[in-house]
Structure 1
Amino acid sequence: MTAQTVIRQVSQHVGQPVKIGCWVHNKRSSGKIQFLQLRDGTGYIQGVVVRSDVPEEVWDAAKSLTQESSLYVTGEIREEPRSQSGYEMTVTGIEIIHLTENYPITPKEHGIDFLMDHRHLWLRAPKQRAILVIRAQIISAIQNYFDENGFTLVDPPILTPSSCEGTTNLFHTKYFDEDAYLTQSGQLYMEAAAMALGKVYSFGPTFRAEKSKTRRHLIEFWMIEPEMAFVDHEESLRVQESFIAYVVQSVLDNCRKELETIGRDITKLEKIVGPFPRITYDDAIKFLNEQGYDIPWGEDFGAPHETAIAEKYETPVFITHYPTKIKAFYMKPDPTNPDVVLCADMIAPEGYGEIIGGSQRIDDPALLEERFTEHELSTEAYQWYLDLRKYGTVPHSGFGLGLERTVAWICGLDHVRETIPFPRMLYRLYP
């Protein structure tokens, strides 16, 4: 009896006839033998069609197959050490579902604009498939880490009435007869959730209307934002390094083949073990000035500055205690030096920039009201946020991780556009 299976599970059917629904990734012929490179979304396998061993109609069907044609293929699975998967199929039957004509993405080189215009098809390429498998594993590891460490998943709203950090980079829409905006961050809502549940995290899309074309930026991206009641800045840093080490190890444990497909240097990922080094903003400024960068104290770091700092380390590095004036209004000042805040950015190695930003939040009701006044924020719009300090305020901390930058770093990609199935960028809303 012929079992229907998928390529990922062919090891369970060695010596047995199976049927697989698949597509033709590529094919070649040596005259009396046709070699079909087949894929089904779970993996790749070579199907070998020997002319003398199959009926004429099977041979002709194999001969007619074109790139990305769809079919059901029947055959016997055998071990093949020379194959990348370790297995091959001796084909005995072919049932063509659809013959493709003029598939646009051929094995030749294509420009990035062409590939992005055909992103719906480019996803089928081995490298793009591998990236999406790794992305899925990263998502799974993120959820597992928080679920195993006492966090509760909470979903903040995507539509918000206003933003405490200004509306210049927000997407505006109408909410019936009111103005509304697509969320830039769920953090403030997660602080409310933490006061109810203790340790929480959100995992959802965020939107930034920034006219940026750098390799690190997307208009629509996914954020993971944990918030923790009764947790100070120091403890939050320990959570962050434990979290990142866990995610990287999960990818190493479960995605070796995919990492190999994209050509990632695994030895660099194997070094991602905490604790991670830490430097203060003051030390970072001093280092950059010594390296010839003309950046005064009080300015934020750009991509070249972060890259220069990261080059000193083989693991992520924390830059802590940024100036109060360049950070968000809700960050708690350092009690020993109110000119800086209890915050940290985690900079990934290899030039991938900031992947986590976090801080201890202000828990003093009077100080938070002062910050609202200094930043000219609407107390009416965010009275609910001030209520969190008015009714049972506690020390609490949190951070946000950008999923796509993290995927780019773990995969070793040049640009974040390949880290998400359908990227939204400054001049790209199609497909």
Structure 2
Amino acid sequence: MSPAGAPLPPLVEPGPPLTPGQVARYARHLALAEVGEAGQRRLLAARVLVVGAGGLGSPVLLYLAAAGVGTLGIVDDDVVEVSNLQRQVVHGAADVGRRKVDSAADAVRALDPALDVRAHPVRLDADNARTLLAGYDLVVDGSDNFATRYLLDDVCAGLGLPWVWGSLQRGHAQVSTFWSTPPVGEGVTLRDVFGGPPPDGTVPPCAVDGVLGAVCAAAGAAMALEVVRLVCGAGRTLLGRVVVHDAFAGTWHDVPVRRRAGDSRRDGAGGATDAPSPVRRADAPTGAPADAPPGAPAGRPAPRDVRTGDVVAADDADVVDLRDAVEVAALPFPGARHVPFAQFVSETTLAGLDLDRPLVLVCRVGSRSAHAAALARAAGVRDARHLPGGVAAWARTPAGPDTA
């Protein structure tokens, strides 16, 4: 297996020689050895599909257009709303009520009229996904629901396409590349890292949980950079690692991930909110909620002391609270040690975990803990679980603080 982020060959062959106008426009790229004339010609020849023209899709589209990606497809079936303007910078106040694909396409064409912009005003589904994706070299996921993300994972695996994934929640962002069959090294898919999608209603959308507008720009820029690296064959890609950003802490952490052992699902067209999903444990029965402990009632959060057996049947479990200090002060979770999410998912912390000791992770609503549990398993922890619904759900049950 090649190391995480190992260089990959260029994804796209160079297009025609640059015109004098293109030489002037892309002069700053041409001065870079990592891009140069050949790389710029590859960008101009590239066909990239961006799924979603929202918080992530907005900066991705603008930066890819500015970089000279010759063909940009935009998939979105939504219209612009006033609440979008806080973070979806490809749209303006005059676009409220318009289809997002039309607003985004106008913005891209205004930046560079020479680009081929293809608007797809549809919702990606099992009936149209394969046909839409087949016309592109690379897919960028800016969607906001689990169904679309897992559909992309399955269809891209079937087509052998790489896709750049981004996820947002509150002030956190994660970015990676998934590719089932890269030309060198071992492939990794979304299902390898996060298993199947979580049960409906267990992860709140950003409309409920909130999202910092500028964190969309940070993640979107990272995704656009990854497209450039893949197209040009420049630098170290994100295949085999997840980059985690905490906007409030001002940190970026790099977490290696790998293909799930024994998982043969690499194709098909079956079937993301703004947060990543939990990983299904290998011994969980088909159809059971991800990370559900054996014998646990469906949908029931763990009691206050998670070491009693509902989440992990081990008295020596390491229980970790991933919330920020303010959240912990407002509602402490008994028996847990406090390690903020951004600190926990750093490569140093993950590498220091006891691989044989059961690990239980908690956060406010279960999304950060689900993500962290997935990364802990990817780091080699044999029994890493999380509290579905988080401390918020636990506090509403008879086992919560009201009966202490």
Scaled by the length of structure 2, what TM-score is found? 0.23
Q: Please say which structure displays the higher CA radius of gyration.
A: 1
More strand as a share of residues? 1
Scaled by the length of structure 1, what TM-score is found? 0.22
